[in-house]
Structure 1
Amino acid sequence: MKFKSQARQNQLIEKITSSHLVVGIDIAQQTHVARAVNFRGIIIGEALSFTNDEDGFNSLLQWIQKLQTAHQLSATVVGMEPTGHYWLNVSRWLAARQFEVVLVNPHLVKKNKENRDNTPSKSDKKDALVIADMVKNGYYSFRRNTPEAFEELRVLLSNRDSVVKRLVSAKNQIHRWVDIVFPELRQVFKHITCIGALVTLRLFPTPAELSQLQPQDVIKGWKSIMKRHSGSRKAQELVTLASRSVGSRQATHAYQLHLKQLLAEYDLACEQLQVVEQEIVAVLERIPFAKSMLAIKGISVISLAGILGEAGDLSGFVHGNALLRHAGLNLAESSSGKWTGQMVISKRGRSRLRRFLYIATMCLVMNNPEFQAMHKYNVNVKKMKKMKSIMKLCGKLARILVGMARSGQAYTPLKTLPLEQAA
Structure 2
Amino acid sequence: MNSKMNQKINQVTENTLVVGMDIAKRVHYACFVDDRGRMIEKAFPVNQSKEGFESLYEKILQTMQETKKTEVIVGIEPTGHYWMNLAYFLDQYGIPLVMVNPLHVKRSKELDDNLPTKNDKKDALVIARLLKDGRFSYPRILKEIEAELRIGSTLRSKLTEDLASIKNRIIRWLDRYFPEFTQVFPAFGKMALATLEKTPLPQDIKNKTAEELVFLYRQVEGMRAPQLPKAKLLIETSINSIGLTEGTQMARQEIATLLRQYRLLESEIESVNSQLAEMA
Q: Is the 8 A contact 2:99 2:139 kept in 1?
A: yes
* Map of 2:250 onto structure 1: 254
Correspondence for 1:229? 226
Q: Matched residue of 1:45: which SS?
A: strand
How many angstroms apart in 1 are the aligned matches of 2:103 and 2:266? 37
Q: CA deviation at 1:263?
A: 0.6
**Does the 8 A contact of 2:20 with 2:31 survive in 1?**
yes
Structure 1: gaps of 5 or more residues: 285-423
1:190–1:146 distance in 2 versus 1, CA, 3 Å: closer
Counterpart pick for 1:210 among 205, 210, 227: 205
Q: Which runs of structure 2 are paired with 1:262-301 in the superposition (5 Å)?
A: 262-284=258-280
Q: 2:78 aligns with which of 79, 82, 87?
A: 82
- Aligned residue runs from structure 1 range 19-418, under 5 A: 19-191=15-187, 193-225=188-220, 226-231=223-228, 233-284=229-280
**Deviation, structure 1 residue 90:** 1.6
The answer to whether the Cα contact below 8 Å between 2:26 and 2:48 also exists between their aligned partners in 1 is yes
Q: Distance in 1 between matches of 2:269 and 2:114?
A: 51
Partner of 1:198, secondary structure, is: helix
Q: 1:248 to 1:45 in 2, by over 3 A?
A: same
CA 1:234 to 1:45, structure 2 compared with 1: closer, same or farther past 3 Å? closer
Determine if contact 2:107/2:116 at 8 Å carries over to the other structure.
no
Distance in 2 of aligned mates of 1:208 and 1:145 = 58
Q: 1:224 to 1:101 in 2, by over 3 A?
A: closer
Pairwise CA distance, 1:43: 1.3
What is the CA distance between 1:259 and its match in structure 2? Answer: 0.4
What is the distance in 1 between the residues matched to 2:250 and 2:107?
53
One-letter identity of the residue aligned with 1:16: V
Deviations 1:194-224 (A, max 9, x none): 2222111111111112223222211222333
The answer (yes or no) to whether the contact 1:101–1:142 under 8 Å persists in 2 is: yes
Paired with 1:108 and 1:278, the residues of 2 have a C-alpha distance of: 42
Pairwise CA distance, 1:238: 2.0
- CA distance in structure 1 between the aligned counterparts of 2:112 and 2:185, rounded to whole angstroms: 66
CA distance in 2, matches of 1:210, 1:89: 56
**Equivalent residues of 1:48, 1:60 under 8 A apart:** no
Shift of 1:19: 1.4
Q: Cα gap change, 1:59/1:275 in structure 2, threshold over 3 Å: closer, same or farther?
A: same
Please tell me whether the aligned partners of residues 109 and 131 of structure 1 are also in contact (alpha carbons under 8 angstroms): yes
TM-score of the superposed pair, with normalisation by structure 1: 0.62
Q: 1:243 to 1:24 in 2, by over 3 A?
A: same
**For each residue in 1:335-381, what CA deviation from the matched residue of structure 2 results, as whole angstroms up to 9, or x when unmatched?**
xxxxxxxxxxxxxxxxxxxxxxxxxxxxxxxxxxxxxxxxxxxxxxx
Which letter maps to 1:230? Q
Distance 1:240 1:121 in 2: 66
Question: SS at 1:114's partner residue?
Answer: helix
Q: Is the 8 A contact 2:72 2:95 kept in 1?
A: yes
Q: Which amino acid aligns with 1:229?
A: P
Distance in 2 of aligned mates of 1:148 and 1:281: 16
Q: Paired residues, what number?
A: 278
For 1:24-73, what per-residue CA distance to the aligned partner results, in whole angstroms no more than 9, with x for missing partners?
01111110100111111111122211211122123212332343344332
Paired with 2:164 and 2:141, the residues of 1 have a C-alpha distance of: 34
Is contact 2:43-2:121 (8 Å) kept?
yes
The CA deviation at 1:23 is: 0.7
CA–CA distance in 2 between the matches of 1:275 and 1:44?
52
Q: CA deviation at 1:257?
A: 0.5
Offset, 1:143: 4.2
Cα separation, partners in 2 of 1:223 and 1:78, compared to 1, 3 Å:
closer
Q: State TM-score, norm by structure 2.
A: 0.92
In structure 2, do the counterparts of structure 1 residues 189 and 165 end up closer, same or farther at CA, with 3 Å as the change threshold? same
Q: How high is the sequence identity, in percent, across the aligned residues?
A: 35
- State the distance in 2 between where 1:122 and 1:187 align: 55
Residue 13 in structure 1 maps to residue 9 in structure 2: yes
Change in Cα spacing, 1:31 to 1:220, as seen in structure 2 (3 Å) is same
Aligned counterparts of 2:161 and 2:88: Cα–Cα separation in 1:
31
- CA gap 1:200/1:49 in 2 versus in 1, 3 angstroms: same
Q: Deviations over 1:79-116 (max 9, x none)?
A: 11232221112222222123232222333323332232
CA change 1:247–1:56 in 2 (3 A) is same
Distance 1:130-1:213 versus aligned 2 partners, 3 A rule: same
